Amino acid sequence: MSRKRRRPSQSPARKSPATPQRAAASHSTHDADPNDTRNNMSPRSFVIALVVAAAVLTWYFHGNALPQLHKAVGAVLPDHLFWFDTATVDGIRSAMTKDHHVLLSGAHMSAGMLFTVFAGAAGASVAALVGPANKALKRTLIWACIAFIPVGIASHIMIDEMLSAPGATLVTATAVVGLIRWVLLAIIAVCVIVLPVVWFITEFRKRWNDPNYDGAK
């Protein structure tokens, strides 16, 4: 009798299911290119927002609230004077009523406080972002803008006290602090207006002279 030859098993070998391929490009923040323009937009957008907010508050406080009080009192308040003496303050004090004092104090504590904080923060942020290449000069500009915040708040408090109670010493101290506030505000204006213009001109010249320049530092 002939033996029956066994046929090899016809069952197909099990195939492992195909593993879906992962996307080759990883969007992890660790693989982000530091020179990518999108990565540099966040700090610039934040600085622009600060500058816009500071500009709006500057207009509201110095261009709207204080001028209305000037008109109501009939005299320019110390906030808009570069220097003043006892005679000037006595004239302003005699023209002010109790309601005027309340309105001025409220303006200092609300719009004046916000203006001071945002203006100082905006100036320091712009100086840090597009400040001069000289590190010592850049650091000086940043700290000058930051110093405007406590000096400005102190100036507002001292003006309220000076207009409420007479005193030659307080008048002189308030005038000195107010003058320092004006100097620091001028530095902020330079940081917010002049520095971006200088930076733009410098970048434009670099791109004009070198088409391959990408702005990376």
pLDDT digits 0-9 by tens, 95-140: 999 999 999 999 999 999 999 999 999 999 999 998 888 899 999 9
Q: For residue 5, is pLDDT > 60?
A: no
Name the phi and psi angles at 96, rounded to 5. -90, 145
Let me know if 115 is exposed, middle or buried by CB neighbors in 10 A (0-12, 13-18, 19+).
buried
Global pTM value: 0.75
33 or 168, which is more confident:
168
DSSP conformation class of 34: T
Q: Could you give the C-alpha distances from 132 to 129, 193, 205, in angstroms and in order? A: 9, 14, 16
Phi (first) and psi of residue 167, to 5 degrees: 165, 120
Instruction: Give the integer Cα–Cα distance in Å for 43 and 64.
Output: 30
User: Euclidean distance between the first and final Cα of the chain, in Å?
Assistant: 91
Average pLDDT over residues 23-52: 63
Please report the pLDDT score of residue 34 as a whole number: 47
Overall residue count recorded for the chain in this entry: 217
* Residue 80, token pair as written in the block: 């808009």
- CA–CA distance, 138 with 69 (Å, rounded to integer): 37
pLDDT tens-digit series, residues 16-28: 555 555 444 444 4
Average pLDDT over residues 179-183: 97
pLDDT at 197 (0 to 100): 85
- 91 token code pair: 């004239």
What pLDDT, in 10s, does the model give residues 148-173? Answer: 999 999 999 999 999 988 788 999 99
Q: Which of 30-34, 70-74, 177-181, 198-202 has the lowest mean pLDDT?
A: 30-34
196-204: average pLDDT = 76
Average pLDDT, whole number, for the chain? 82
In this prediction, residue 147 carries a pLDDT of 98
What pLDDT score was predicted for residue 24?
44
Nearest CA to 108 among 161, 145, 147? 161
Q: What is the per-residue pLDDT across 129-154, written as a single tens digit (0 to 9) for each?
A: 988 888 999 999 999 999 999 999 99
pLDDT of residue 198: 80
Q: What is the pLDDT of residue 44?
A: 84
The span from the CA of 84 to the CA of 172, in Å, is 8
